[in-house]
Amino acid sequence: MIRITCPYCGPRDHQEFAYVGDATLTRPSDDAGADAWYDFVYLRDNPRGPHLEYWQHVHGCRAFVKVLRDTLTHEVLATGTAADDLVAGGR
Amino acid sequence: MLKLQKPSQPFRLEEGGEIDRLAPLAFRFDNRRCIGYRGDTLASALLANGVRLVGRSFKYHRPRGIYTDGSDEPNALVELRTGDRREPNTRATTIELFAGLEARSQNRWPNLQTDIMQVTSLFAPIIPAGFYYKTFMGMPGWRFYEHFIRRAAGLGRPTADPDPDRYDRMHAFCDVLVVGAGPAGLAAALAAGRAGARVMLLEESDAPGGRLRADRERLDGAPAREWVTRTVDELDAMPDVTVLTRTTGFGHYDGTVISALERVADHKPVPDPFEVRQRVWHIRARRVVLATGASERPLVFAGNDRPGVMLAGAARSYVNRFAVRPGSRAAVFANNDDGYRTAIDLARAGIEVRTVIDCRAGGQGAGREQAAALGIECLDATAVTATHGHLGLTGIETAQLSADGRGIIGQPRLHSVDLLAVAGGWSPNIQLHGHIGAAPVYDAELAGFVAGSGPGASRSAGAVNGAWSLGECLRQGSDAGGEAARLLGFNPGAPELPVTEEAPVGPIRPMWRLPGRGKKFVDLQDDVTVDDIELAHREGYQSVEHLKRYTTLGMGTDQGRTSSVNGLAIMAEERGIAVAEAGITRSRPPVVPVALGAIAAGDVGMHFAPTRRTPMHDWHEANGAVFDHAGHWLRPQYYLRPGEDAGDMNRAIAREVIGTRSAVGMVDVSTLGKIDIQGRDAAEFLNRVYINGWSTLPVGRARYGLMQREDGIVFDDGTTSRVGEHRYFMTTTTANAGMVMAHLEEYLGVHWRDLDVTLASVTEQWGTLALAGPRSRDVLARVVDGLDVSDEGLPYMGVRDASIAGVAVRLFRISFSGELAYEVAAPADHAARVWEVLVDAGAGHGLIPYGTEAMGIMRIEKGHVAGGELDGRTTAVDLGLGRMVSRRKFHIGHAMAGRDGLTAASRPGFVGLVPVDSVSRPRAGSILVADPQARPPVDKLGHVSSSAWLSPSLPHPIALGFVKGGRERIGSTVWAMFPMRNEAIEVRVVDPVFLDPDGERLHG
């Protein structure tokens, strides 16, 4: 029952959010090769420790929130908008 | 002469205890009439009535009695209540007695005294851990044996009736949450409460106090009970302090959340009117103090499971709190000083305490002298080596221990006793710590595991933290509560602790198993013995997690609270490693059994999920609609006319298809997902999300679009209309409405943040209907104002604004049925009015409402793809829609759709299927094969994706499907197999468009 601070709505229970996925990936350019697309669509790291991910505030403002979360402790270290570059401890 | 025999309480003490002798309560156990008092648990009342045998064990059907006084009880599980409230496996030690209580023993037949299945005990040497699986699994007839094996093992029977009670869920917030209201918890709550923090204190039993209710402790020179009363009064007077009794913290989650079960009405025969039976609390606290205490451990010796063998702390609880003598002639067996205080308390209650058997050779504290002074024989370096008595303890044997504790010296000595109190040390209740990942740490001085540091804002205090003495528990509690308050910015001030009177105690001697012949039970609930653990060791199941799963050690309702540490310590001895090295199994929620009803709370029946009704729902209901569930939506499946019933379904569906194809029909399509798309880059956005192009679509036109996922598989379809220069109106399938919205939002929110596009879900803002059939234009023309609905005024795929009966509507000339057809979108509040106006206008034209069945048949007749085809496995080419893919742009899935696997010629292609006999009905889901006689494994050619059992327009059933070779196979036959129903139907492969392939009807 972690809490996520939505940059628009404030701190909310994770039940208001839907987990989206890895926020470290960048969608390849349209004409990138098959390998780049394969990596983007299928390959995911499963890091132990801080991980950058997207959560959608589905039962709120529906924004995509970037969340820096420790996968071991579930501690939310920082949150921001999709445009933000996050580092632990703040935006 | 008839003699009325009144039930008596032969084992009740004359005075003392927390029971109310002025409130007698009648109850029944196995139909025996008994009397107890308010303040009793079922267990204490049974003991007062002289009932010692309360159940049979899980595997060997051994007679069992009451072993503990709390929720860690492994033995005394009973069936409670009757009828629709019958509940199995409830612990007699936690059931508060109420008038009229009915309980029954479990796992015995025909009765508790004469249990036929007890013969399993004779075979015990040949049914070790894993016996049934090792012996019977894989043998012919396992299915036959399984039934009997499962019946022989097991416990109580739940009711099969619906639960008549209500449950509740609460969310609460506080500064400091204290779990457990024993001395440490009370001191913690008091310190935090006095500092001004918002405090919640949870107590599992009916009142705070913990061990202070069970032991004869003194605080500030008076019985400790007085301090408890004073403290609770002070907490009750604090406005920001909440004390919840009958509430057990059962789960500890991220974000400092504790889930707790409050047994609101379990102490009553039935809940009061409008009262819930139980309530689950989710409490989010800023700091948590876990003061969950400790569970006493048994000693593991031969015959340690007989009724009459009981934990020492429980025996003290029964004499001190419940004023019950758990026996008449007692012995105490201990490896620590708790043995002496138990002997003293039992003796003071008038029980003849004959012996204290102490494993230790020396080093005892002050208790031994006090016990000896009372005339109790105290044996050092001695162990119980056997017990006697069939349905209850009658005697024990003791013998001198060898120096290493592994053997005995000399001849055993017989003692005639009916109560053996066992004190094997205490295991901290660290389960809640484990839930959030705090690693247990072995404390050699305690001979038990305490919680290590873990994440989050929780800390422990008192016995759970390894505190042995009352004074230490109070100090730790007060410190933890004060620290929690201070960290939150409150000022707790100097602690005020009551003065304790405690004698020094000697050290514990860990004795994980004792010498002697016979079954030595480690886990009483799961019938796991020392032999089973030794077997697990020999067979290689040596890690504690393997040990648990192989032997079922600690997997009962008590979650191993009395057995885990003993079991893993014995395994450590077998492996020749330290207990600390062996570790302990990871605990997971819930700590105590929680009814699923309590977790579901109000989310049952109609409240389980929302029901979505379209704006025209009431009309459908009034006009004979039979509804079908489509996700949360209710949609008319077909309409029955007066005098028809469910048996007329096929007639109704055929009527609707024929009526539509011959005149005009109308269907409610409000459930389709609708998305308003606006922005300067809207056309570019559509170009990227659909596989086909949108740049050329003029204002006032609609276009069919197909969406892919990023992996190149088709995701959804629908029509999207350009309703303004920078504004589009998208529709999605009913099933995918929510997913498509989130999918589009993700691209705009994450990947294409530079696009100027805004989305709004308007599914519920519009009520929509489709008007289809050769007379649809005539009906529409009668009601539409401000628009010429001729082919010129509203051409195929045209979109126009107009008004119907004063309601502004949007008209689309699009068709799913293959007929000349229109869709009318009206603001939801006025859509029912528009529907009714059209019904009236169509009366003279033969207008008929139709449901989803007729709609489905008509789309299959036209070979339009829907859910059965868009199944998450098909590509645009598979669907025969490859020509839609625009080559002048990139779109989602563009790159991956070109992969070899998705473009292989061997992929099944979309076709129509017709039964060769013109009568059989190939079922959706049937597998297409070449040879119906082939034995598995059979090469699969494809499958049937949609089927219309009835096609009024055609002389035979029809189906859609995918077959290898696709259209190249048209004209040949294959077999549609449905092995679960033993069906094999020869089908001819045909074009998927069964009706009007040139679209003449479409253009009217």
| DSSP single-letter state for residue B751 | I
Is the pLDDT reported for residue B162 higher than 50?
Answer: yes
Q: Which residue has the higher pLDDT, B642 or B953?
A: B642
- What percentage of chain B carries pLDDT values higher than 70? 95
pLDDT at B128: 67
CATH number of the domain bearing residue A77? 3.30.2270.10
User: Chain A contacts of B711, Cβ < 8 Å?
Assistant: 41-42
Nearest to A1 among B257, B750, B753 (CB): B257
Round to whole Å and give the CA distance between B266 and B269: 7
In a domain, A87, yes or no: no
Is the pLDDT reported for residue B880 higher than 50?
Answer: yes
Domain span including residue B570: 511-595
CB B692 within 8 A of CB B889: no
User: Chain B contacts of A64, Cβ < 8 Å?
Assistant: 745-746, 749-750
Non-local CB neighbours of B209 within 8 Å, separated by 6+ positions = B181, B182, B186, B224, B225, B228
In a domain, B720, yes or no: yes
pLDDT tens, residue by residue, A4-32: 999 999 999 999 999 999 999 999 998 89
Round to whole Å and give the CA distance between B536 and A38: 46
Nearest to B254 among A2, A58, A83 (CB): A2
CATH number of the domain bearing residue B584? 1.10.10.1100
pLDDT tens, residue by residue, B652-699: 999 999 999 999 999 999 999 999 999 999 999 999 999 999 999 999
pLDDT tens, residue by residue, B74-105: 999 999 999 999 999 999 999 999 999 999 99
CB B975 within 8 A of CB B932: yes
In a domain, A57, yes or no: yes
B754, closest residue in chain A (CA to CA): A83
Round to whole Å and give the CA distance between B880 and B883: 8
Is the pLDDT reported for residue A88 higher than 80?
Answer: no
Round to whole Å and give the CA distance between B823 and B799: 9
Round to whole Å and give the CA distance between B925 and B943: 6
pLDDT at B115: 75
Round to whole Å and give the CA distance between B111 and B445: 45
Closest CA to B557 of B156, B991, B996: B156
CB B818 within 8 A of CB B862: yes
SS3 B174: strand
For residue B833, what is the enclosing H or E element? helix B828-842
Asked if residue B568 and residue B434 are part of one domain, the reply reads no
For residue B776, what is the enclosing H or E element? helix B776-783
In a domain, B561, yes or no: yes
Is the pLDDT reported for residue A70 higher than 60?
Answer: yes
User: Chain B contacts of A41, Cβ < 8 Å?
Assistant: 710-711, 896
In a domain, B712, yes or no: yes
In a domain, A86, yes or no: no
Closest CA to B749 of A81, A44, A30, A41: A81
Per the CB < 8 Å rule, is B896 touching A41? yes
In a domain, B1003, yes or no: yes
Round to whole Å and give the CA distance between B418 and B395: 6
Q: What is the mean pLDDT of residues B290-316?
A: 97
- Identify the bridge partners of residue B705 per DSSP, sorted by sequence position: B718
CATH number of the domain bearing residue B736? 3.30.70.1400
Domain boundary among B797, B827, B858: B858
In a domain, B589, yes or no: yes
- What sign does the dihedral B836-B837-B839-B840 (CA atoms) show? positive
Asked if residue B786 and residue B643 are part of one domain, the reply reads yes
B750, closest residue in chain A (CA to CA): A82
Asked if residue B780 and residue B653 are part of one domain, the reply reads yes
Number of H helices, E strands in chain A: 1, 6
CATH number of the domain bearing residue B937? 2.40.30.110
pLDDT at B142: 62
CATH number of the domain bearing residue B652? 3.30.1360.120
Round to whole Å and give the CA distance between B80 and B105: 9
Asked if residue B991 and residue B853 are part of one domain, the reply reads no
Round to whole Å and give the CA distance between B830 and A64: 35
In a domain, A10, yes or no: yes
Domain boundary among B136, B160, B184: B160
pLDDT at B329: 97
Query: Is some CB atom of chain A closer than 8 A to the CB atom of B286?
Result: no
- Identify the bridge partners of residue B630 per DSSP, sorted by sequence position: B633
Alpha helix (H) residue ranges in B262-311:
none
Asked if residue B335 and residue B306 are part of one domain, the reply reads yes
In a domain, A56, yes or no: yes
Instruction: Convert B823-842 to b/e letters by CB count within 10 Å (16 or more is b).
Output: bbbbbbebbbbbbebbbebb
Q: What is the mean pLDDT of residues B106-117?
A: 76
pLDDT at B364: 82
SS3 B968: helix
Distance (Å) from the alpha carbon of B546 to chain A's nearest alpha carbon: 23
Asked if residue B437 and residue B288 are part of one domain, the reply reads yes
pLDDT at B1: 44
Distance (Å) from the alpha carbon of B895 to chain A's nearest alpha carbon: 7
Nearest to B742 among A30, A34, A58 (CB): A58
- What radius of gyration, in Å, describes the C-alpha atoms of chain B? 38
pLDDT at A91: 41
Asked if residue B654 and residue B756 are part of one domain, the reply reads no
Asked if residue B805 and residue B663 are part of one domain, the reply reads yes
In a domain, B139, yes or no: yes
Report the number of distinct structural domains present in chain A.
1
Per the CB < 8 Å rule, is A64 touching B711? no
A64, closest residue in chain B (CA to CA): B749
CATH number of the domain bearing residue B287? 3.50.50.60
**Across chain B, what does the average pLDDT equal?**
93
Q: Which residue has the higher pLDDT, B161 or B468?
A: B161
Asked if residue B270 and residue B419 are part of one domain, the reply reads no
- Identify the bridge partners of residue B416 per DSSP, sorted by sequence position: none
pLDDT at B108: 77
> What are the CA-CA distances from residue B972 to residues B914, B918, B997 (Å)?
11, 15, 20
Pairing of strands B309-311, B528-529: unpaired
Query: Is some CB atom of chain A closer than 8 A to the CB atom of B254?
Result: yes
In a domain, A91, yes or no: no
Nearest to A62 among B284, B456, B745 (CB): B745
Least confident of B56-65, B114-123, B728-737, B953-962: B114-123
Round to whole Å and give the CA distance between B965 and B908: 6
pLDDT tens, residue by residue, B230-273: 999 999 999 999 999 999 999 999 889 999 999 999 999 999 99
Report the number of distinct structural domains present in chain B.
7
Write the burial class of residue B458 (CB in 10 Å: 0-12 exposed, 13-18 middle, 19+ buried).
buried
pLDDT tens, residue by residue, B441-455: 999 999 999 988 777
Write the burial class of residue B4 (CB in 10 Å: 0-12 exposed, 13-18 middle, 19+ buried).
exposed
Chain centroid to CA B537: 33
SS3 B633: strand
Is the pLDDT reported for residue B6 higher than 60?
Answer: no
Asked if residue B467 and residue B523 are part of one domain, the reply reads no
Domain span including residue A26: 3-81
Question: Is the previous residue joined to B110 through a cis bond, with omega within 30 degrees of 0?
Answer: yes
Asked if residue B796 and residue B653 are part of one domain, the reply reads yes
B748, closest residue in chain A (CA to CA): A64
**pLDDT confidence of B796, banded at 50, 70, 90?**
very high
**pLDDT confidence of A89, banded at 50, 70, 90?**
very low
Per the CB < 8 Å rule, is A82 touching B284? no
In a domain, B476, yes or no: yes
pLDDT tens, residue by residue, B325-368: 999 999 999 999 999 999 999 999 999 999 999 999 987 888 99
- What percentage of chain B carries pLDDT values higher than 90? 86
Distance (Å) from the alpha carbon of B286 to chain A's nearest alpha carbon: 12
Domain boundary among B160, B195, B212: B160
Non-local CB neighbours of B227 within 8 Å, separated by 6+ positions = B212, B219, B220, B498
Nearest to A64 among B437, B749, B899 (CB): B749
SS3 B723: strand
pLDDT at B58: 85
**pLDDT confidence of B574, banded at 50, 70, 90?**
very high
pLDDT at B936: 83
B760, closest residue in chain A (CA to CA): A62
pLDDT tens, residue by residue, B541-550: 999 999 999 9
| DSSP single-letter state for residue B692 | S
Q: Give B184-238 as a DSSP string.
A: HHHHHHHHHHHTT--EEEE-SSSSTTGGGGTS--EETTEEHHHHHHHHHHHHHHS
Asked if residue B41 and residue B13 are part of one domain, the reply reads yes
Is the pLDDT reported for residue B150 higher than 70?
Answer: no
